[in-house]
Amino acid sequence: MDKNYRQLKLCIEEEPKETEKNNKVNILFRNTVPEIPSTTYGTFAIYRYPAKFIPQVVAFILKRYAKPGMKVFDPFAGYGTVGIVSRIYGYDYELWDLNPMIDVIHKTAIMKPPRINIIDLIKELKNSKEEFIPNWSNLDYWFPEEFIPTLSRAWGYVHSLDDETKYILLIPLINVTRYFSYSDEKVHKLYKSKYSRKKVEKLLKGDWKRQFYIMLEKEIQNLLKKIREYHRLKPKEDVNYQIRFGIDTLEEKLDNDVDILITSPPYLQAQEYIRSTKLELFWLGYPEDYIRNLSKKEIPYRPVSKIEIYSEKYYEFREKIEEEHLRVLYDRYFHGILNIFSSLGERVNSYMCIFVGPAKIRTIPIPIDEIIVEHLQELGWKHEITFVDTIISRVMFESKVNPASGKKDSRIKTEHMVVLKKGE
């Protein structure tokens, strides 16, 4: 028996233990793909994108449902994990996201291991006369003025490059820039904390310039190591792919058919992706108006047109929400994502695999996965299975007292991968 097939059979038979009602099966995705040894292996975690897939989730789905020649599609691709994993198994892919970060992450993550002398590269960057200042009215709020000339020279140099050296530097420089800012790089949003103020104070007291270049060098070394690691997984060079960023999935149509949709839509609450990556986007050169406009398109914070929702559970849980503004959020979320899955689904030939957390509104757990299943079943999709994965360590989901309700809030403990098969 082929080794990969045997491994796959093992994972599937050992992991999902019992089939409960509603076709739900427990799984620990991170243990299901032996060839990807950890969740941060290779280029799967070169940048902290909020709520990104671990690679094993995508790999598991591809190994179980994809067949040679199939095309994979993610309409909320974020970091682009679906694409980076698809390359390993040789599938063509298409990725969409509102957030332009996907462009730089993807180009960096799939790069061939480059031959480069890091010391010479940093020397060149230090001596460059190019300058770049972001078009950002709040720049002074996020950076002490002392750091600006050094940052401006480093970014000026990177923006002046037009070969692959640019992608050796971009993510490392993004990570260092974030560290040299008043934002707390340990949290997934742009946030000035007590810790981050102290961090800058401490930097300013020491030889921060030296520290800046040492840190940049380490980041580049780490990236190169991660690129080499990814190449040990033997990604295929001949796959076709399209990446579309800065686009609003609600307004877009697929030009061609795809075979498998794998995605995790935006969260029902507490995540603003554009806001979290604003600092990066400004230094990458995106203008303030453009970034503001992207923010206005984020689901579920924007108005959406209403569709007919075919799910009793949707109405049942809607009734339980007392506060008007939370009901608005709930409606925008479901009308937004269900509209997208109904209409994009028309061009999906085989499977839709949708990964969601059973989020809470105040203290009410909302069964997002079941609402999606009910609605799409009505449109002819067959509910194959739901894999229930347990979240092991995620800072944003730590248990704490919810300030609004005063109750201990356990946040999300599991995430659900809904697998729907196209009706005959």
Ligand X SMILES: C[S@@+](CC[C@H](N)C(=O)[O-])C[C@H]1O[C@@H](n2cnc3c(N)ncnc32)[C@H](O)[C@@H]1O
Binding positions for ligand X, rule: CB under 6 A: 49, 51-53, 76-79, 81, 97-99, 248-250, 264, 266, 273, 297-299
Q: Which residue is nearest to ligand X (CB)?
A: 78
Task: Supply the DSSP string of 290-345, one letter for each residue.
Answer: HHHHHHTT-TTSS---------HHHHHHHHH--SHHHHHHHHHHHHHHHHHHHHHH
The residue among 144 and 358 lying less far from ligand X, judged by its C-beta, is 358
Residues ≥6 apart with Cβ < 8 Å to 210: none
Q: Which one, 70 or 77, has the nearer CB to ligand X?
A: 77
CB 44 → ligand X: shortest distance, Å?
9
**Is residue 300 within 8 Å of 268, Cβ to Cβ?**
yes
Counted residue by residue, the chain has a size of 424
Using the minimum distance from each CB to ligand X, give the nearer residue, 205 or 253: 253
CB of 153 to ligand X, least distance (A): 31
Please identify, using beta-carbon distances, which residue of 95 and 170 lies nearer to ligand X: 95
* Nearer to ligand X among residue 166 and residue 297 (C-beta): 297
How many helices (H) and strands (E) would you count in the chain?
A: 16, 12
How many angstroms separate the CA atoms of 367 and 356, rounded? 9
Q: Which is nearer to ligand X, 191 or 208 (CB)?
A: 191
In whole angstroms, how close is the CB of 80 to ligand X at the nearest point?
A: 7
Integer Cα distance of 223 and 167 in angstroms: 10
- DSSP 8-state assignment for residue 111: P
Q: Looking at this protein, which amino acid is placed at residue 307?
A: I
**In the complex, least distance from residue 23 CB atom to ligand X, rounded to whole angstroms:** 23
Cβ of residue 96: shortest distance to ligand X, in angstroms? 6
CA dist 246 → 18, 126, 162, 171, 290 (Å)? 42, 32, 21, 19, 9
Residues 6+ apart with CB under 8 A from 320: 364
Of the two residues 79 and 155, which places its CB atom closer to ligand X in the complex?
A: 79
* CB 84 to ligand X: min, Å: 9
Cβ at position 57, least distance to ligand X in Å: 8
CA distance 312 to 375: 9
**Between β-strands 258-263 and 348-356, what pairing exists: parallel, antiparallel or unpaired?**
parallel
In terms of CB distance, is 121 or 391 closer to ligand X?
391
Burial of residue 163 (number of CB atoms within 10 Å: 0-12, 13-18, 19+): exposed
Spatial contact of 397 and 51, defined as CB atoms under 8 Å apart: no
Q: Shortest approach of ligand X to residue 102 CB, angstroms? A: 7
Structure tokens given for 265: 């839509």
